Amino acid sequence: MAKTPITVAEGDGIGPEIMKATLHILDAAGAQIEIHRVDIGEKLYHQGFQNGMDPKMWDVIRSTKAFLKAPITTPQGGGFKSLNVTIRTTLGLYANVRPCVSYFPFVATKHPEMDVVIVRENEEDLYSGIEYRQTPDVCSSIKLISRAGSEKIIRYAFDYAKRHGRKKVTLFMKDNIMKFSDGLFHKIFDEIAQEYPDILNEHWIVDIGAAKLADTPEVFDVIVMPNLYGDILSDVAAQIAGSVGLAGSANIGEKGAMFEAIHGSAPRRAGQNVANPSGLLLAAVQMLDHIGQPDVASKIHNAWLKTLEEGIHTYDIFKEGTSKKKVGTQEFGDAVIKNLGKKPEQLKPAVYGKEKGHLVHKHVPTNPDRKLIGVDVYIYFRGQMTEFFSKISHINVASLRLRMITNRGVRVWPGGQPETFCIEQWRCRFFSDDLRTVVQDDLIKILHAFDHVKMDVIRSEFLYLFDGKPGYSSAEG
Ligand code: NAD
């Protein structure tokens, strides 16, 4: 079998130790990989590379099939960019896949039956990094959800379930509040679920879903979520399964993939041969499956399960009474190597290699009738509502009239309640009486009109009807 080129980064803190143990096991198991090493992390940050990597590294990553990455240390202080976010977004690694499994009775957990895979959208949502300081004292982040991005991750989740013999895909979202962004994610989930009639589907509002996940994780199978919920809940899931030290994760894209442990570089444990290499090892197992070496993946995973069953544990999962022998990083790796070829007796054996095929992303853009009918103009103004209203109430252009003023999404005019707390960002909504189509030029004239009365416009959003339905939220109050 030809060797598959992979990129390896040893990272910082405990990174080099757990990477050494992991690669040693891969080698002993017969993984056919050709290693290309790159330097990333703390040292590079200090050399002045803002995101912890030398741009020359892209060529190495591009020339290999996968990137196995140990954790890095993010330096304290401002001005540094996240290396992980840079790699995920630059390479288009849209799916973050995190199996969270309990290994009861060998690793203590309150949830002995837990076997959940979290599939987290990795590129959009509040992580698209579109943020503004709009006024001296108001900042805003844009939560971006696209049909194309949502289709990719949701189809990936169903496809993952199918390939791994899983029965159900659950959606977590909050479309009772975010009717447009999470609403779109939910709608696409319902559409794609129809393509997988053999897989059950269900949805939960994220708050109650999270509570249920923490209480009875065994009722879940695969859970798909937008980025932020997935970021938070995949850590919760890994922790309640037993330990964050035991979970690996895959970041999958169409043109590349990155595999890593979910924990950080644990600097206090560095250089002592005590760290648990399991998270990185399980990430490497996901990598072997991904690059078409499922037999080696199964062999290593089963040897690792057998080692857990034997009670050979690193300090983080060692428990008097359950564990038999406390070992260091290297000794744990050696124990796994000794067990290569064996299967666990009590824990469920791992089987990789189900028919994969190539996941086809079908994105058909929708084409509704789109009608421009008005504009929301955001103004920076420090003062009372009455004073604000008197300065702007006369503004109108063509058929466009002021229809509503809101503050933090709450309607303060017409109507409004004296208790409503107002900040220095005001939204003024304009449209015509009969919601007739307007031209962009009239909307721009509205912005000019604010300028004439010396009001600072800090943002504007054009209002569209899509097939006659508003493409903007209405205000509370
Ligand atoms: P951490 O995950 O490094 O450590 C949290 C706790 O878990 C510590 O008590 C640590 O000793 C323990 N721990 C973690 N991994 C372990 C292992 N494999 N074996 C045994 N014990 C383990 O989180 P932190 O302390 O918040 O972060 C340390 C550094 O790691 C920071 O600079 C942070 O930015 C970075 N970090 C990097 C990544 C990454 O590269 N993907 C992820 C998270 C944090």
Instruction: State whether 303 and 402 are in the same domain.
Output: no
pLDDT digits (tens, 9 = 90+) for 355-384: 666 677 788 899 999 999 999 999 999 999
Round to whole Å and give the CA distance between 351 and 336: 17
Instruction: State whether 423 and 286 are in the same domain.
Output: no
b/e map 263-291, b = 16+ CB within 10 Å: bbbbeebbeebbbbbbbbbbbbbbbbbbb
- Enter the tokens of residue 227: 């980025």
**Residue 352 included in any domain:** no
Q: Please say whether the beta carbons of 392 and 453 come within 8 A.
A: yes
Average pLDDT over residues 450-476: 93
Given this model, what pLDDT does residue 85 score? 81
Atom of ligand 1 nearest to the CA of 279: 18
Residue with tokens 């003062």, as numbered in its chain: 383
Quickly list H helices, 83-146: 83-91
Instruction: State whether 30 and 164 are in the same domain.
Output: yes
Instruction: Please give all residues whose beta carbon lies within 6 A of any atom in ligand 1, as ranges.
Output: 14, 18, 71-74, 84, 245, 260, 263-269, 275-276, 279, 316
CA of 267 to the centre of ligand 1 (A): 7
Task: Check pLDDT > 60 for residue 477.
Answer: no
Instruction: State whether 292 and 403 are in the same domain.
Output: no
Instruction: State whether 210 and 96 are in the same domain.
Output: yes
How many domains does the chain fold into? 2
Instruction: State whether 163 and 287 are in the same domain.
Output: yes
**Residue 419 included in any domain:** yes
**Residue 175 included in any domain:** yes
Instruction: State whether 399 and 457 are in the same domain.
Output: yes
Dihedral sign from CA coordinates of 46, 47, 48, 51 = negative
Peptide bond into 105 cis (omega under 30): yes
CA of 268 to the centre of ligand 1 (A): 9
Rounded alpha-carbon distances, angstroms, from residue 231 to 122, 223, 338:
9, 12, 35
b/e map 344-382, b = 16+ CB within 10 Å: beebeebebeeeeeeeeeeeeeeeeeebbbbbbbbbbbe
CA of 236 to the centre of ligand 1 (A): 15
Atom of ligand 1 nearest to the CA of 11: 40
Closest CA to 88 of 64, 133, 63, 124: 124
Label residue 167 by pLDDT band (50, 70, 90).
very high
Question: What CATH number should be reported for the domain holding residue 465?
Answer: 3.30.70.1570
**Residue 362 included in any domain:** no
Average pLDDT over residues 31-46: 94
Beta strand 456-466 with 370-380: parallel, antiparallel or unpaired? antiparallel
pLDDT digits (tens, 9 = 90+) for 283-316: 999 999 999 999 999 999 999 999 999 999 999 9
Atom of ligand 1 nearest to the CA of 275: 19
Given this model, what pLDDT does residue 355 score? 62
Instruction: State whether 444 and 320 are in the same domain.
Output: no
Q: Longest C-alpha distance within the chain, in Å?
A: 82
Given this model, what pLDDT does residue 364 score? 85
CA angle 269, 74, 314 (to 5 degrees): 25
Task: Check pLDDT > 90 for residue 251.
Answer: yes
Closest CA to 64 of 255, 262, 192: 255
CA of 240 to the centre of ligand 1 (A): 17
Domain edge (last residue) among 316, 338, 360? 338
Residue to mutate (ligand 1; options 51, 85, 93, 263; most atoms within 8 A of CB): 263
CA angle 73, 78, 82 (to 5 degrees): 45
Q: What does pTM read for this prediction? A: 0.92
Round to whole Å and give the CA distance between 296 and 285: 8
Label residue 60 by pLDDT band (50, 70, 90).
very high
**Residue 353 included in any domain:** no
Instruction: State whether 221 and 118 are in the same domain.
Output: yes
Instruction: State whether 163 and 38 are in the same domain.
Output: yes
- Enter the tokens of residue 301: 């995973």
Q: DSSP letter string over 351-412?
A: -------------------EEEEEEEEEEE--S-HHHHHHHHTT--BTTBEEEEEEETTEEE
Atom of ligand 1 nearest to the CA of 75: 32
Least confident of 88-92, 163-167, 189-193, 376-380: 88-92
Given this model, what pLDDT does residue 356 score? 65
CA of 266 to the centre of ligand 1 (A): 4
Give 140's strand partners.
132
From first CA to last CA, the distance across the chain in angstroms is 67
Task: Check pLDDT > 80 for residue 476.
Answer: no
**Residue 245 included in any domain:** yes
CA of 158 to the centre of ligand 1 (A): 31
Instruction: State whether 378 and 270 are in the same domain.
Output: no
Given this model, what pLDDT does residue 460 score? 96
By residue count, the chain amounts to 477
Least confident of 48-52, 201-205, 314-318, 336-340: 48-52
**Residue 466 included in any domain:** yes
Q: DSSP letter string over 219-280?
A: G-SEEEE-HHHHHHHHHHHHHHHT-GGG-EEEEE-SS-EEEEESS---GGGTTTT----HHH
Beta strand 33-38 with 4-9: parallel, antiparallel or unpaired? parallel
Instruction: State whether 51 and 116 are in the same domain.
Output: yes
Given this model, what pLDDT does residue 354 score? 66
Domain edge (last residue) among 322, 338, 354? 338
Give me the torsion for CA of 144, 160, 286, 223, rounded to 10°.
60
Atom of ligand 1 nearest to the CA of 83: 40
| Ligand 1 atom 16: residue of nearest CA | 245
Q: What are phi and psi of 227, to 5 degrees?
A: -55, -55
Domain span holding position 166: 4-338
Round to whole Å and give the CA distance between 337 and 326: 17
**Residue 169 included in any domain:** yes
Round to whole Å and give the CA distance between 323 and 310: 8
Question: What CATH number should be reported for the domain holding residue 258?
Answer: 3.40.718.10
Closest CA to 80 of 38, 119, 51: 51
Domain edge (last residue) among 315, 338, 361? 338
Round to whole Å and give the CA distance between 374 and 434: 11
Coil, strand, or helix at residue 344? coil
